Amino acid sequence: MLEIKNLHVSVEGKKILKGLNLSVRAGEVHSIMGPNGSGKSTLASVLAGREGYEIEQGAVLYQGRDLLEMDPEERACEGVFLAFQYPVEIPGVGSIQFLTAALNAIRTHRGLEELDALEALQLFKEKIKALQVSDDLLHRSVNEGFSGGEKKKNEIFQMAVLEPTLAILDETDSGLDIDALRVVAEGVNALRSPERGFLVITHYQRLLDYIVPDYVHVLMGGRIVRSGGKELALHLEEQGYAWAGNKDPAEAAAT
């Protein structure tokens, strides 16, 4: 479903991604781990279509199509969803209004009928209830005055409503208390299905106790330096990223 080939990306002349390769098939959960500054958020932003990133080399195919050619809203309509690391506050824009606009844009794109205001509200209430999040969030401006945890829950709630095909979570777990972490994990696990793929970007192994990945990749210096199964995350937790960065652990031990 997602094929990233030799991706080189720079921001304001600075090379961030330096030949990243990654392949996600439908039904898989991939976790990308890495230290700060390794390029994790750049990868998430490039996949979602944020401006300001220069693609120097490489390609990203999503369901066989060139993802990088698509506008952000087209990517969303095609099923790509990014749970932001830092969701923005948008005063004055009501959550219901915003989410109705998003949902109906996506439904229209998929050839489904638009929902009217009441149907949409009913859907939102069902989804938010299933996540055990207070529906108070619905009646406020988008993220305005939300706590860190509320913002992240709101991202997961939006994901539940929009039912993406490829969901990218950019450090959604950072700074979350255990209750919020469970909400995030349950939100993801509820959506896991043979048709969907997940890219879970995280700094810590903790989230992966709740969202068990099929594959774990270590991103360092703009490239994936190691890949493995879920046990790789545990190993990283014990050994630290320095270990993963060494091409040959035996060589590292010798010096």
Q: Does 109 bind other proteins (CB under 8 A)?
A: yes
Q: d(Cα 69, Cα 162) in Å, to the nearest integer? A: 22
Q: Does 137 bind other proteins (CB under 8 A)?
A: no
Report the nearest approach of other proteins to the CB of residue 182 (Å).
24
DSSP secondary structure string, 101-160? HHHHHHHHHTTPPPPPHHHHHHHHHHHHHHTT--GGGGGSEETTT--HHHHHHHHHHHHH
Q: Which of residues 140-199 bind other proteins (CB under 8 A)?
A: 141-142, 158, 162
Structure tokens at 111: 């050839």
Binder among 75, 152, 153, 196 for other proteins (CB under 8 A): 75
Size of the site for other proteins (CB under 8 A): 34
**Count of alpha carbons within 13 angstroms of residue 46, beta-carbon side:** 26
Cβ-based nearer residue to other proteins, 158 or 172: 158
Q: Does 90 bind other proteins (CB under 8 A)?
A: yes
Report the nearest approach of other proteins to the CB of residue 70 (Å).
11
Cβ pair 103, 120 in contact under 8 A = yes
8-25 burial, b at 16+ Cβ within 10 Å, e below that, comes to: bbbeeeeebbbebebebe
Give the interface segment with other proteins, choosing from 29-37, 85-93, 179-187, 204-212 (CB under 8 A).
Answer: 85-93
Binder among 4, 99, 199, 219 for other proteins (CB under 8 A): 99
Q: Does 70 bind other proteins (CB under 8 A)?
A: no
Structure tokens at 133: 């999040």
Give the interface segment with other proteins, choosing from 12-20, 22-30, 86-94, 212-220 (CB under 8 A).
Answer: 86-94
Q: How far is CA 52 from the centre of its chain?
A: 19
Partners of 35 in beta bridges = none
Cβ pair 181, 148 in contact under 8 A = no
Report the nearest approach of other proteins to the CB of residue 103 (Å).
8
Give the interface segment with other proteins, choosing from 105-113, 190-198, 202-210, 233-241 (CB under 8 A).
Answer: 105-113
Binder among 22, 76, 128, 200 for other proteins (CB under 8 A): 76
Structure tokens at 30: 């991939």
Report the nearest approach of other proteins to the CB of residue 102 (Å).
4
Give the interface segment with other proteins, choosing from 69-77, 126-134, 179-187, 241-249 (CB under 8 A).
Answer: 69-77
Strand arrangement of the beta sheet that strand 65-66 belongs to: 14-24, 2-11, 54-62, 65-66
Q: Does 51 bind other proteins (CB under 8 A)?
A: yes
Note the residues at the interface with other proteins (CB under 8 A): 48-51, 71-73, 75-77, 81-82, 84, 87-88, 90-93, 97-103, 105-106, 109, 117, 141-142, 158, 162
